[in-house]
Amino acid sequence: MLAAHHATLKANYDEAEEFSDWMPDDGEYVVTILKCPKGVSTKKDPLNPLFWWKPVVRIEDVANPELNGQEFALGFFNSNAPGIMKGQVKALNSGNVVSFEEIDGIFSGSIGKVLRVKVATTKSKKNGQDYTNCFIQEVLATESVAEPTAEPPQV
């Protein structure tokens, strides 16, 4: 029995992503969404599941080699904070509000999008603790560059 439990723990450990709560300093950044892990938890209340999404972004700043390529979580958006989640989904969806049923498609479809985000630290009025959050300012338009051809353009 202990061996089976050990094998399960080892498999979970081997498959787990390394946790990091690193965030860049306050300011604006250009980032690309790399992935968007998601899940459903019924730990607290089996009758009221918690739906969550955690987009991970990479900083795109070739002028700053220390920051360029650094990754961090855009946020942990969940059904217990619908207003925050709704605002971020709206920003990802060109300013359009969507239904709850469409949220997963918006997050899934955001992978590869380039954003301008603002990182800001605020002090809680309740407990005096500092909290750092990241807010989507806009989705940046990006274009695909056509492959060069051997033929010169016709004039």
- Examine residue 4 and state whether it is found in any structural domain, yes or no: no
Mean pLDDT, rounded, of the chain: 87
- Examine residue 9 and state whether it is found in any structural domain, yes or no: no
- How do the residues of the chain divide into helix, strand and coil, expressed in percent and rounded to 5? 25, 30, 50
Question: How many domains does one find in the chain?
Answer: 1
Residues 139 and 142: their CA atoms lie apart, in Å, by 9
Query: Which residue has tokens 């969806």?
Result: 93
Per-residue pLDDT tens over the stretch 95-141 = 998 898 999 999 999 999 999 999 999 999 999 999 999 999 999 98
Residue range(s) defining the domain that contains residue 119: 20-139
- Examine residue 145 and state whether it is found in any structural domain, yes or no: no
- Examine residue 14 and state whether it is found in any structural domain, yes or no: no
CA 143-149-154 angle, 5° bins:
95
- Examine residue 12 and state whether it is found in any structural domain, yes or no: no
